Amino acid sequence: MQKLLDGLPKIIESAHGTGGRWTHELIESVFLPYFRSQPLQSLADQAVVPESGTGRMAISTDSFVVTPYRFPGGNIGDLAVNGTVNDLLMGGATPAYLTVAFVLMEGLRVDHLVEIVQSIANAAAASAVSIIAGDTKVVCGKAEDGLFITTTGVGFLPGGVNWGPEFIQPGDKIILSGTVADHGASVLTKRYNLAFDTVIRSDTASLLPAVMAVRDLCGIRCMRDPTRGGLATTLAELSQTSGLTLEAKELCIPIRDDVRGLCEVLGLDPLYVANEGKLIAVVAPDVASTVLSRLQATEVARDAAIIGTVTKSAPGYALLETAIGAKRVLELLSMEQLPRIC
Amino acid sequence: MQKLLDGLPKIIESAHGTGGRWTHELIESVFLPYFRSQPLQSLADQAVVPESGTGRMAISTDSFVVTPYRFPGGNIGDLAVNGTVNDLLMGGATPAYLTVAFVLMEGLRVDHLVEIVQSIANAAAASAVSIIAGDTKVVCGKAEDGLFITTTGVGFLPGGVNWGPEFIQPGDKIILSGTVADHGASVLTKRYNLAFDTVIRSDTASLLPAVMAVRDLCGIRCMRDPTRGGLATTLAELSQTSGLTLEAKELCIPIRDDVRGLCEVLGLDPLYVANEGKLIAVVAPDVASTVLSRLQATEVARDAAIIGTVTKSAPGYALLETAIGAKRVLELLSMEQLPRIC
């Protein structure tokens, strides 16, 4: 790392954002060594890339403002790549291209920036996406904010893949790919310097292996990644959009003991805490066991579980059957449980 | 305006960024009424759109952090649309799709946000681009920053259009589409509350009519929009990349009297001050007069002028022939002349 930093400035200054010589030097010394795609290296104002020829393109954009910008298990860089890649995957698209726009705070440590840029490059490689265009601005914001990153992803949809909440039917099974609330719990412990016996790591990860393992199956109705707002908000949204009832059983929802303990201490409902490497799949009952076993065969979804069923019992509302057998409505997150989480 | 604001909150609060009910309400009351594309209205995590089938796609991204975020002639909203649309146009692409990601500061006035969203919608309509995806985050930043906007644009390149600095040849003519430094001067007068007899308005505008007027001509080598760093930085970059010498004549460069006066008073070189609705076209000498007259026939480029010629006199450097006949090298902007300009 030290060798990589030789000759670089120690901190970001406002002149790095003026579009002149300093900006060029920052791009050439910090970004280009890691972002090696041909369109990006040409440094034109736009990247030119081939279309895939499949006829349908998926596009997604997200800004990332997480504080702190480094946390156990990841940083804002891999979060920004995985978040946008996963949004494309949830529609069934194969992610292909990514743009990355940075808003850097004056005073940001350049060694932190290099670490984040490396994470971006690694995360992009893991999902086989090319970073083809970027932008850098510098603002005099709050130093502890560090940086904001906006990623936009372009992917391509294979013929025959048409997923969405409008295809959900009564009797469908709800599959969750792993434990809930890891990302939010990780950011929270780091933000407030909470000490526990174990380190809670963010689950930030690409869902590419999980989606590719099941995409060819008929009977997949819809996928979503339950990020901001957590599992409960996603179940509520899907119920609202489909006009049906997504019923989950609390006892079936995987959660780490330390994450559960942290949430209990802090009075947080883990079902509303953000995830960054999990998916919900709503699937036809006859393919549920196949989807489940294929997901469990991937590292990123090894803890996948069937957590519930779609019914018509309370149209438009999501229900949770609690550990003691009571049922409660899962509302959209309405209070500010945990801001600046992604 | 007042009617539009009835029932809306007065200011942005952090709960608007949590991904739950408040975020939904903000999206439904402030964004969706103006962003009417079908993919966006579906509120999925990704937008699905058709490819154009031409085989080549152009993609560009930019973050906008201008301060103040409203200025004579525009605001951060139309700036963010026009800036990215123009970047696509400079490669010869027809802009088609746009994503818009907002980072809102807590305390931002919602009436200002609505005004900006309206500007975004109007600017997108003027360039015939669909806003197909978006994102909203809220941070506790500096209130006067208001908001940052990142736009990503996707366009399609017609067959036969291949522009770039590598095609520039000695003898080519350099055409500028209008007056320099209007945007930077406008932001500056607003930022420091400078009072003049006339109001200097930003030139933020879509270059679509200008590019479409000439795109079918053979002999266009390269286009660039001289934004951050101004005309001088763009000429320097093109000289560097082409290995040739872009020589401009100071007396041929259009500039408004009030902008020149402001720059003189403040000690700014207008050639380094940002433009947001201007282009440089480097073209073969035999089409120069056709390009010029077609540009002048459009409103956005009515003041177009031939400002110089490409030579081999100082390979890799841009030269300016000053009013008194001396020649000076135009370097990349190195000092911070004017930050937070776009």
Tokens describing residue B129:
């681009």
Instruction: Say if residue A44's pLDDT is above 90.
Output: no
Identify the pLDDT of residue B194: 85
Mean residue pLDDT across chain A:
93
How far A281 CA sits from the closest chain B CA (Å)? 14
Residues B128, B79: contact at Cβ < 8 Å? no
Chain A residue with Cα closest to B95 = A46
Residue (of B51, B66, B35, B276) closest to B135 by Cα position: B35
Chain B residue with Cα closest to A164 = B44
Alpha-carbon Rg of chain B, whole angstroms?
Answer: 21
Contacts of A22 in chain B (CB under 8 A): 334, 336
Least confident range from A69-73, A165-169, A331-335: namely A331-335
Residues 6+ apart with CB under 8 A from B289: none
Contacts of A332 in chain B (CB under 8 A): 20-21, 24
Q: Do A46 and B59 touch (CB under 8 A)?
A: yes
What is the CATH code of the structural domain delimited by A2-157?
3.30.1330.10
Chain B residue with Cα closest to A85 = B46
Chain A residue with Cα closest to B83 = A45
How far B252 CA sits from the closest chain A CA (Å)? 24
Identify the pLDDT of residue B69: 97
Residues 6+ apart with CB under 8 A from A25: none
Residue (of B274, B213, B152, B245) closest to A45 by Cα position: B152
Q: What's the pLDDT tens digit per position in A122-168?
A: 999 999 999 999 999 999 988 889 999 999 999 999 999 999 999 99
Identify the pLDDT of residue A227: 94
As annotated, the residues of chain A forming the CATH 3.90.650.10 domain(s) are 165-330
Q: Do B46 and A52 touch (CB under 8 A)?
A: no
Give the distance, in angstroms, between the CA of residue A183 and the centroid of all CA atoms in the same chain: 10
pLDDT class of B337 with cuts at 50, 70, 90? low
Contacts of B232 in chain A (CB under 8 A): none
Report d(CA A23, CA A12) in Å as an integer.
10
Average pLDDT over residues A96-119: 96
**Which of A45, A187, A227, A331 to mutate: most B Cβ within 10 Å?**
A45
Instruction: Say if residue A335's pLDDT is above 70.
Output: no
Residues B47, B39: contact at Cβ < 8 Å? yes
Report d(CA A109, CA A12) in Å as an integer.
7
Identify the pLDDT of residue B54: 80
**Which of B54, B120, B152, B163 to mutate: most A Cβ within 10 Å?**
B152
Tokens describing residue A296:
């469990």
Report d(CA B299, CA B320) in Å as an integer.
28
pLDDT class of B334 with cuts at 50, 70, 90? low
What is the CATH code of the structural domain delimited by A165-330?
3.90.650.10
Contacts of A51 in chain B (CB under 8 A): 51-57
Counting one residue from chain A and one from chain B, the pairs whose CB atoms sit within 8 A come to: 265
Mean residue pLDDT across chain B:
93
Contacts of B103 in chain A (CB under 8 A): 63, 65, 103, 148, 150
Q: Do B61 and A99 touch (CB under 8 A)?
A: yes
Q: Do A50 and B61 touch (CB under 8 A)?
A: no
Report d(CA A127, CA A120) in Å as an integer.
11
Average pLDDT over residues A255-262: 95
Q: What's the pLDDT tens digit per position in A237-250?
A: 999 999 999 999 99
Q: Do B142 and A138 touch (CB under 8 A)?
A: no
Report d(CA A74, CA A83) in Å as an integer.
12
Q: What is the 3-state secondary structure (H, E, C) of chain B?
A: CHHHHCCCCCECCHHHHCCCHHHHHHHHHHHCCCCCCHHHHCCCCCEEEECCCCCEEEEEEEEECCCCCEECCEEHHHHHHHHHHHHHHCCCCEEEEEEEEEEEECCCEHHHHHHHHHHHHHHHHHCCCEEEEEEEEEECCCHHHCEEEEEEEEEECCCCCCCCHHHCCCCCEEEECCCCCHHHHHHHHHHCCCCCCCCCCCCCCCCHHHHHHHCCCCCEEEEECCCCCHHHHHHHHHHHHHCCEEEEEHHHCCCCHHHHHHHHHHCCCHHHCCCCCCCEEEECHHHHHHHHHHHHCCCCCCCCEEEEEEECCCCCCEEEECCCCCEEEECCCCCCCCCCCC
pLDDT class of A41 with cuts at 50, 70, 90? confident
- Nearest CB among B54, B224, B335 relative to A15 is that of B335
Which of A170-174, B24-28, B262-266: highest mean pLDDT? A170-174
Instruction: Say if residue B142's pLDDT is above 90.
Output: no
Q: Do A334 and B22 touch (CB under 8 A)?
A: yes
Residue (of A76, A271, A201, A316) closest to B20 by Cα position: A271
